[in-house]
Amino acid sequence: MIYRETGHFVTNYLKDREIFPMTFDKVVALIGLLWLFLWVPTTSEYFLSAHVIPILAVGLATVGLNILTGLTGQLSLGTAGFMCVGAFGTYNLMLRVPDYLMSLPVALLMSGIFAGLVGVVFGLPAIRIKGFYLLVSTLAAQYFVWWFFNSYAWFLNYESSGVVAIAPKFYDYWGLGNLLGVDMQGYPARYLLALVVCIGLSYFAKNLLRSNTGRNFMSVRDRDIAASVMGISVPRAKLLAFFISCFYCGVAGGIYSFLYIGNVDLMIYEVDRSFTILFMLIIGGLGSISGSWLGAIFVYEFPIVFTWVGDFIFQGAFNTAVVENVSNMVYGVFIIALLIREPGGFAALWATTKQKLRMWPYPH
Amino acid sequence: MSKSLLKINNIEVVYNHVILALRGVTLDVEEGKVVSLLGANGSGKTTTLKACSNLLHAERGAITKGTIEYQEKDIANHGAFNLVKDGVAQVLEGRHCFSHLTVEENIMTGSFIRENSKEAKQDLERVYDHFERIRIRRKSLAGFTSGGEQQMIAMGRALMSRPKLILLDEPSMGLAPQLVEEIFAIVKALNKEGVSFLIAEQNAMVALKYADDGYIIENGRVILKGKAQDLLDRPDVKEMYLGVGKEGKTSFRDIKYYHRRKPSFT
Amino acid sequence: MDWVYLIEVLVGGLLSGVMYSLVAIGFVLIYKSSGIFNFAQGTMLLFASLTFVKMTENGIGFWTALFIAAGIMVIFGVATERFVIRPLANQNLLALFMATVGLATFQEGFSQFIWDSDVHGLQMNKFLDIGLLDPNPIFMSDHIPWLDILIPQFDIFASLVAGLMIVVLAFFFQKTKTGLSLRAVSDDHMAAMAVGIPLQTVWAVVWAVTGIIALVSGLLWAERVSVSFTLIEAVMKALPVILIGGLTSIPGAIVGGLVIGVGEKLGEIYLADVFGGQGIELWFAYFMALMFLVVRPQGMFGEKLIERV
């Protein structure tokens, strides 16, 4: 047996807290991580631009929603709105702040903070409103943000078409590209930036989950009155969750607009996208960071794979409407089936499988 | 020996396809008897009761082996609704009152299966006669009543279906000893009217005092059964469940480990 | 200030509010009987009216089509109970909400997959000749001399339907035994099962009824807008309505609808300039609901939250 958990003993608390407690896991994780970076030259620009980077963007937004919904139990339908703040924030920071002060990574993080603050404003009602009633606040955020950027043309630099292309100079990184002789606007460079941000923020989220703050969030989710009796400040926990979650969504929006499509377009941040991200979260599993990524991959890739199957096997029998409708049906069935069989989503499916394998060949 | 009302034959219950909660429980409730099911937390009392009342699947549990017979009919997949109709009512652990309904509305929900609304009115009076305490509170929301009152509401609700057998899950939870006695006195009174009881309890002293038969369950297995009085007299039961040992302090080493012994019955 | 204009705006708001209420009723029915926040209400509207329209387009008569569509909605409701709600009984409410989101997605794809994604027009007066559906509006000045406004007769018809549904449902929930047991179910699934309420039957009935309500309100909506994807957005519009009214209150659905309808119109007219942009209708309803809920978290007529540790 290559992989077994017997014989692994934890002798101190530090070891007990490790994300990958076993040497085998550690090695696999490290190789995986390295591979994510070193794999770039072997792949095509197309694959990066059409599959990997968008998944990184929406996956990050899913992680953000997970912090709010999965961890703190505050239902949100405003994800796309917060992503929108991130995208427009990044654009305006790049446009209006002098070049020597601003660079894309900085702009991404700063616009994440903007989005977080907007999130806190719309999270304020959460102090008083609970449960489904809170949907109205996040929906207000979604529609208000959308309307706001639509109405005030200043944010789009008075572009009449409603879409602004991103100037190549925004990918300058203080001249780093010239220095290294790398095309920083090219997809490999974009991918690496997105990857670093996503890994960093996922790591942060994973640790948040296991920290005191994360436990406060979870106690608010499970029973907010009990949490307040325990001395946890429920309003503070909720607002902090809104801030962190919307920060993630904002950064994700920046990545989506700047590193994936290359323009800032209001139309892609409509309420449908909020739902898509909610699907990713549910299918992946609430409360699990790796689950969020799995969910994002599944939901994003399914229509693509389905079209591909249609093209190759049925000679292009499926037009876009069919693909969209069938995808919707499949998501729906998947969500319902998962909720019935395994409410924890892909993440829990994985955990149960592991548990079963441990017991194998005995059923329990 | 009187007729058996509920017969559980060697059932095994698995939660979520992985967790084995009951590993062979056999139990018998005779007609007109009060039977106590004793055990520590997590030993499987509630699971046994829920298996009887067909509420397991709501918690992702399933009976994987064995049979449950009520009046010589297999009821393992009978549906909670049909079971209530046939005269088995369950009072859930932790009361589970409908907090947004008034006390009276709560009790009336128990009469759903009854066609005759006049009889339901009579039954309501009967419930109030047994539980005088809740008569005065009948217009207030159940969510704002005290724990003891909620227990009474839950029991009254179960009575409304005119059951032959009530599965009572931890009636003493969170109640003052005096109230516990009161509840059990009502159980005894109802028993005299011909209702049989299967009671899951932690408070072994009270439960055995009012019961005819007793079962002790541990780790999902029945480890002891007998007449309630016999169980009360056993030194090991006294030691482990009643907290009254021989004189003075006893070391755990001296306690007779009855659970080491394999159960002598199946 | 032009009073007649104001009254016209108010009446227009009230009438569009009725349309929101129509959707909200279905919502509240499900919520009140099972505690489930049914996100699929909008897609049920779409599915029902699309089914109906496709049948009439293929030459089936009005009443036959209505009957068949109602039958399909009943089957759909029962199937929903059997395959979605029943296995999820006693799960937490968030999971149930998500299941209805899944159901909505499925239905959105399904209805456009078996029918089509085109925009269909619907002229009910083509089929129905019952006077009230007369496209010519009533001149109020014929009845009230100083009131010189127009009210489409269709809107009056829609209001009557909404009013009727609300009266029947309110009576059903407050006065009948089944209504009582449904309220019990929404409080605690497990306890309801334990006292012998046949959850499955009851839910199947509720979902079937909701399906029929969806058909009725779907047709009325379709008459106003069209049968297309936009019907799904009706559910988004109905959301602030039910939240203002209180999720558990049937009369709340209509009052909330009227408040939102009027508020939205007034906001568009008097506040749009303040915000320096058109189209504040997009979010104004949500803001109103938000303001309202901050003052009264359970909505206007909603059940008070009972929380004990």
* Tens of pLDDT, residues B26-76: 999 999 999 999 988 888 899 999 999 888 887 888 899 889 999 888 887
Distance (Å, rounded) from C-alpha A199 to C-alpha A75?
25
Residue that is written with structure tokens 């379709």 in the block: C222
Spatial separation of the C-alpha atoms in residues B118 and C260, rounded to whole Å? 45
Between 3.40.50.720, 3.90.1260.10, 3.40.50.300, 3.40.50.1100, what CATH number should domain B31-58+79-260 receive?
3.40.50.300
Q: Which residues of C touch B53 (CB under 8 A)?
A: 194
> Letter for the amino acid at B20?
L
**Nearest-neighbour CA in chain C from B21: distance (Å):** 20
Check CB contact of B143 with chain C, cutoff 8 Å.
yes
Q: What angle do CA C228, A162, C42 make, to 5 degrees?
A: 20
Helix H or strand E segment including B239: none
Helix (H, G, I), strand (E, B) or coil at B169: strand
Q: What angle do CA C37, C118, C60 make, to 5 degrees?
A: 90
Distance from the A30 Cα atom to the nearest Cα atom in chain B, whole angstroms: 32
What was the pLDDT predicted at A90?
94
Nearest CB partner across the interface for A336, out of C103, C277, C278? C103
Closest CB from C87, C112, C247 relative to A325: C112
Can you name the residues that pair with B31 across neighbouring β-strands? none
Place of tokens 């058996």: B4
Nearest of C110, C79, C95 to residue C34 by alpha carbon: C95
Chains that touch C (3 or more CB pairs under 8 A): A, B
Query: Rounded distance, CA A301 to CA A281, Å?
Result: 15
CA distance C202 to C34: 10
Angle in degrees, 0-180, between the axes of helices A345-359 and A289-313, rounded to the nearest 10? 100
Output the 3-class SS for chain C.
CCHHHHHHHHHHHHHHHHHHHHHHHHHHHHHHHHCCCCCCHHHHHHHHHHHHHHHHHCCCCHHHHHHHHHHHHHHHHHHHHHHHHHHHCCCCHHHHHHHHHHHHHHHHHHHHHHCCCCCECCCHHHCCCCCCCCCCCEEHHHHCCCCCCEECHHHHHHHHHHHHHHHHHHHHHHHCHHHHHHHHHHHCHHHHHHCCCCHHHHHHHHHHHHHHHHHHHHHHHHHHCCECCHHHHHHHHHHHHHHHHCCCCHHHHHHHHHHHHHHHHHHHHHHCCCCCCCCCHHHHHHHHHHHHHHHCCCCCCCCCCCCCC
pLDDT score for B266: 42
Task: Provide the H-helix boundaries in A129-229.
Answer: 135-151, 176-180, 187-210, 212-222, 224-229
- Candidates C196, C203, C191; CA nearest to B78 is C196
> Taking Cα atoms as reference points, which of A150, A181, A164 lies closest to residue A258?
A164
> What is the average per-residue pLDDT within B252-265?
52
Contact indicator for C56, C62 with CB cutoff of 8 Å: yes
Residues in chain A with CB shorter than 8 Å from the CB of B17 are 352, 363-364
The torsion angles phi and psi of B130, rounded to 5 degrees, stand at -70, -40
Place of tokens 């309505």: C241
- pLDDT-derived band at B211, boundaries 50, 70, 90: very high
Task: Tell me which residues of chain C, numbers 243 to 262, contact chain A at a CB-CB cutoff of 8 Å.
Answer: 243, 247
Q: By C-alpha distance, which of C264, C6, C1 is closest to C147? A: C6
d(CA A277, CA A80): 8
**pLDDT of B248:** 53
pTM of the model: 0.86
Contact at CB, A340 and C247, closer than 8 angstroms:
no
Summarize chain B as % helix, strand, coil (round to 5): 40, 25, 35
What does the pLDDT read at residue A317? 65
Cβ atoms within 10 Å, residue C118: 14
The answer, for B14 touching chain A at a CB cutoff of 8 Å, is yes
CA dihedral sign, ordered C287, C291, C292, C293 = positive
- The alpha-carbon gap from A179 to the nearest alpha carbon of chain C, in Å, equals 46
DSSP-derived 3-state class of residue A305: helix
Torsion of CA A142, A148, A149, A150, to 10 degrees: 100
pLDDT value of residue A316: 65
User: Which regions in chain C score pLDDT beneath 50?
Assistant: 131-132
Going from the C-alpha of A228 to that of each of A21, A84, A219, A241, A242, the distances in angstroms are 33, 33, 9, 16, 18
B260, pLDDT greater than 50: no
Is B50 in a helix, a strand, or coil?
helix
Contact between chains at A356 and B18 (C-beta distance less than 8 A) = yes
| Pairs of CB atoms within 8 A across B/C | 93
Nearest-Cα distance to chain A for C240, in Å, is 6
Q: Find residues 200-239 of chain C whose CB sits inside 8 Å of chain A.
A: 236, 239
What pLDDT digit, counting tens, does each position of B101-139 carry?
A: 899 989 988 888 777 778 888 889 999 998 988 899 889
Q: Are C122 and C219 in contact (CB under 8 A)?
A: yes
B112 touches chain C (CB under 8 A): yes
Q: Do C279 and A151 touch (CB under 8 A)?
A: yes
Distance separating alpha carbons of residues A347 and A286, to the nearest angstrom: 8
Q: Give Cα separations from C226 to C15, C51, C55, C106, C134 (angstroms).
A: 17, 13, 16, 21, 18
Chain C residue whose CA is closest to A230: C309
Residue with tokens 């996922």: A202
> How confident is the model at residue C135, as a pLDDT?
57
Q: Which residues of A317-336 are buried (b: 16+ CB within 10 A; e: fewer)?
A: ebeeebbbbbbbbbbbbbbb
B117 inside 8 A of chain C by CB: yes
B13 shares contact with chain A (CB less than 8 Å): no
Q: How far is A351 from chain B (nearest CA, A)?
A: 12
CA distance A351 to A343: 12
Instruction: Show me where the domains of chain B are located.
Output: 31-58+79-260
Residue C91 has a pLDDT of: 79
DSSP classification of residue A250: H
Any C CB within 8 A of A324 CB:
yes
Residues A247, A112: Cα–Cα separation, whole Å = 4
Closest residue by Cα to residue C212 from C10, C90, C30: C30
The tokens for A191 are 């991918």
Cα C234 to Cα A283, A289, B7, C62, C117, distances in angstroms: 26, 34, 55, 24, 17
Note the pLDDT of residue C309: 55
pLDDT at position A78 is 93
Residue A67, token pair as written in the block: 């912090």
ipTM confidence score: 0.86
Closest-approach residue (CA) in chain B for C194: B90
- When computed from its CA atoms, the radius of gyration of chain C, rounded to whole angstroms, is 20
The two tokens of residue A18 are 């490790």
Residue A133 to residue C243, Cβ atoms within 8 A: yes
pLDDT of residue B264: 47
Q: Which residue has the tokens 């159940």?
A: B142
State the residue for tokens 């997590």: B42
Q: Which residues lie closer than 8 Å to A235 by C-beta, 6 or more apart?
A: A127
Q: Phi then psi for B3, rounded to 5 degrees?
A: -70, 145
User: How far apart, in Å, do the first and last CA atoms of chain B sit?
Assistant: 19
- Helix, strand, or coil here: A17? coil
CB of C306 within 8 Å of any CB in chain A?
no
Does B265 score more than 60 pLDDT? no
B265/A133 Cα distance (integer angstroms): 56
Instruction: Please give the average pLDDT of every successive group of 10 residues along chain A, which has 364 residues.
Output: 72 82 86 91 87 95 96 92 95 89 91 96 91 88 91 83 82 76 83 94 94 94 90 94 97 94 89 92 91 94 86 73 86 89 85 81 72
CA C268 to chain centre: 23
